[in-house]
Structure 1
Amino acid sequence: MTQPPVSVVVVSKGRPRSLRRTLTAVSQQAYPEFEIIVVTDDDGVDAVGFLEFGHQIKLVSFDEDNISTARNQGIAAAAGEIVAFIDDDAVPETGWLWHLTAPFSEAEVAAAGGYVRGRNGITFQWRARSVNSAAEYDDIAISGDKPVVMTPAKGRAIKTEGTNMAFRRDVIAEMGGFDPAFEFYLDETDVNMRLADQGAATAIVPLAEVHHGFFESARRTARRAPRDLAQNGASMAVFLRKHCREADRADVWSAYQRGQRKRLVDYMIKGELMPGDVARLMRGLRKGYAEGLERKITVLERIPRASDGFRAFERQVAGAEIIAGRQWRRAAIRREALASSRAGRIPSVFVFSRTGLFHRVTFHSEGYWEQVGGLFGRSDRAQRLFRITGFRKRLRQEQQRVARQRLLLDESETSAREGKA
């Protein structure tokens, strides 16, 4: 199979440190031909300049609070056949692009979306979902890890998540990209609905994994509690105007408000919000909805092809490496991983303590993956709470668990180093 050239678009605002981490992971993609496009503010531009590979990145300076317009700027700069999107608070597994683009070998596939893991690097935030004209989501049961191509039923769309999705450039550009009326929230869901109206097929790709951190922003705290819901309300109003029957909109909006209030109360119970915050945020939600009812919705124009051509990203990667050991050697193992990364390899670190602690997976901005946890603890949260196993057996199991997503080589081909037990 010929792998098409891909343009990876990262939109970033106000998170330069997180952006550098995202770009480090993107730069390690095991994919033959891709370019990186960053649409960002002045701080983001400076952050890219500090990266050793920053000169290879297409930079688009953009400082407006409109994620749809920013993504359209990325599409305008893209010269690949496929345009992939990832957020600036997320990192992709090494095989992300390889897996995400594979379904595009089928001519009818217009879009693809992968799975998203949460901040512990283990639990999934999103897998496969569909969405209807009320912006209500339903899980889709997918067994196995092979891509599944789906054409949605009338009135529904196959959902792709903004931090892990790809489109044929010709298709998304002809559609006019993302609707700027969605300044934040539901922008990609609107695209999904418009693709569904065309009868276009979307692929769900389980092995195309992204780790999403939900970093702090102007709209939410580091623990995901909302700070402002005005844009959510405005986008909901726009979405219902575009996709929901007028007779149903009032009921849908009422149900949405009830759901948002329940979510806020849950945060209050956990101590993340004060009682007064709930009322304030609900006022903002309703005010935003009223504003969204007045937003101008226009016919979107086709986005022209990039004028400066494809800028292939070139970085020599010397292969994957497994570095493993006991918890008491963690500092030394990290030094080994850092040296390995600087030598051009992509290290996967496994550090086990002699406990039943749950596992966590982290990508470090220095360029290596680290999994820590108890030798007898869960990685997959569906595993038994406690089990007896040996170090080497557990290492082999955890390496196999991520091998296909990360495109790790077989043990006989991988430089594996185990610290003294």
Structure 2
Amino acid sequence: MSTETLSVVICVYTEDRWDDILASVASVATQSLPAHEMLLVVDHNPVLLGRLCAHYEDDPSVVVLPNAGPRGLSAGRNTGIAAATGSVIAFLDDDAVAERDWLRHFAAAYEEPRVMAVGGRTVPVWSSGRRPVWFPREFDWVVGCSYLGLPPGRVQVRNVLGGNASFRRTAFDAAGGFATGIGRDGDRRPLGCEETELCIRLQRALPDAVVLIDDRAVIHHRVPRARESFSYFRARCWAEGLSKALVTRRVGVGAGLASERRYTTRVLPVGALRGARDALLGRAGGAARAGAIVAGVATAGAGYALGSLRARGGRGGTGGAVA
């Protein structure tokens, strides 16, 4: 049995997700391996902070606290890291629910001392009731979920995906926290990549560090209708390119795009061909999925090019993480 204690951090920012937040907390409360503690970090929203404090005032297992840094997800996570007392810190999206053995699978992986981070599998829950017929599974990272092309099982990867991830406390001692200036700021910027940059920095600080994904550590992530649209798909791909430019500026092109090269040269061409084949066979959405893959690559590439130009000009550039 694992001797690790697991703190769970859930970063929240809007009352619009009130029911989702309560469901996320409830899913942690019913884990087969109990959490050491839960921390709800509220991102510069005094009304939500007060409402959550009142709701959980009689529950000592839930700690509600304000983001102590600048607005945004990275600073919220850093606030949770600073307040957590567990030997492992897990992160769960505020609009996701964890399966009962989520923490148990995380804890089991840390029996190997070199393991410094463990991520899981994130399954989309489409608000419309079904996946849009045009939406390629290879691009599920657009909506914060695990995508077709990730290796199955418990495997070593470059980086975890931030909405379903855990780190040893000593990982942050060695590498520092999440970089602010990368990642989401509420709904205003559909950005990401902060976990990619952190995992690369971690493996540079600790060359023997192992980063894993265990696809048995499952969460179910709600995808709102607004994110089921092609306009959001394009915006998120554009932001992805901008973020990759910022990450490569910080860690170098070799490390920053190592996994992306395999993804764009192997996974996506197969997906596009699969869509074209489905179209020829008369299957619904085949041509649209192939077209979305091409559009997604082109949009992310354009975002990366612009972000790289901005970085060279000293203006920076920022937006999902590919493991």
TM range (shorter): 0.5 to 0.7
Matched, 1:42 2:46: yes
Output the aligned Cα RMSD.
4.2
2:220 to 211, 218, 223: 211
Contact 2:2 2:108 in 1 (8 A): no
Q: CA offset at residue 4 of structure 1?
A: 1.4
**Aligned mates of 2:137, 2:95 — CA distance in 1:** 14
3-state SS, counterpart of residue 18 of structure 1: helix
Contact 1:83 1:167 in 2 (8 A): yes
Contact 1:235 1:292 in 2 (8 A): no
Q: Give, as a single letter, the amino acid of the residue that structure 1 aligns with 2:152.
A: I
**Aligned mates of 1:83, 1:69 — CA distance in 2:** 15
Runs of 4+ residues deviating >4 angstroms: 51-55, 120-126, 227-234, 280-293
- Which residue of structure 2 aligns with residue 202 of structure 1? 211
Contact 1:4 1:33 in 2 (8 A): no
Which of the two has greater helix per residue? Answer: 2
Contact 1:181 1:235 in 2 (8 A): no
% identical aligned pairs = 26
Contact 2:182 2:194 in 1 (8 A): yes
Which of the two has greater strand per residue? Answer: 1
- Which residue of structure 2 aligns with residue 21 of structure 1? 23
Q: Which runs of 5+ in 2 are unaligned?
A: 142-146, 185-191, 273-284, 290-298, 318-323
Q: CA offset at residue 235 of structure 1?
A: 2.3
Number of corresponding residues: 253
Q: Which has the larger radius of gyration?
A: 1
3-state SS, counterpart of residue 31 of structure 2: coil
Matched, 1:239 2:247: yes
**Aligned mates of 2:304, 2:212 — CA distance in 1:** 33
Which residues of 2 match residues 240-255 of structure 1 at below 5 A?
240-245=248-253
- Which residue of structure 2 aligns with residue 106 of structure 1? 112
Q: CA offset at residue 283 of structure 1?
A: 9.5
3-state SS, counterpart of residue 9 of structure 1: strand
TM-score when normalising by structure 1: 0.50
Q: Which has the higher contact order (CA 8 A, sep 6+)?
A: 2
- CA change 1:295–1:90 in 2 (3 A) is farther
Q: Which runs of 5+ in 1 are unaligned?
A: 130-136, 151-156, 271-279, 298-421
TM-score when normalising by structure 2: 0.64
Q: Give, as a single letter, the amino acid of the residue that structure 2 aligns with 1:237.
A: A
- CA change 1:231–1:206 in 2 (3 A) is closer
- Which residue of structure 2 aligns with residue 413 of structure 1? none
Matched, 1:86 2:92: yes
Q: CA offset at residue 34 of structure 1?
A: 1.6
**Aligned mates of 1:79, 1:116 — CA distance in 2:** 26
Contact 2:245 2:304 in 1 (8 A): no
- Which residue of structure 2 aligns with residue 164 of structure 1? 164
Matched, 1:142 2:146: no
Which residues of 2 match residues 14-413 of structure 1 at below 5 A?
14=14, 15-40=17-42, 41-45=45-49, 46-47=51-52, 49-51=54-56, 54-62=59-67, 64-119=70-125, 139-142=149-152, 147-148=154-155, 150=156, 157-184=157-184, 185-197=192-204, 198-215=207-224, 221-223=226-228, 225-226=231-232, 232-245=240-253, 294=314
3-state SS, counterpart of residue 118 of structure 1: strand
- CA change 1:122–1:94 in 2 (3 A) is farther
| 1:333-368 deviation line (CA, Å, top 9, x unaligned) | xxxxxxxxxxxxxxxxxxxxxxxxxxxxxxxxxxxx
Contact 1:26 1:92 in 2 (8 A): yes
